[in-house]
Amino acid sequence: MTAMDSVDEQLRNDHPPETKQTYNRLRSQGYSDQDARQLIASVVASESFMVITHGEKFDLARYTATLRNLPRMPPYYAWA
User: pTM for this structure?
Assistant: 0.89
pLDDT of residue 66: 93
pLDDT of residue 78: 47
- First-to-final CA distance of the chain: 20
- Per-residue pLDDT, averaged over 13-20, amounts to 98
**Residue 13 CA from chain centroid, whole number:** 15
Across the chain, the runs of DSSP E, i.e. the strands, are none
* Res 29 pLDDT > 90: yes
Cα(55)–Cα(67) distance, integer angstroms: 21
Cα(32)–Cα(51) distance, integer angstroms: 29
Confidence of residue 76 (pLDDT cuts 50, 70, 90): low
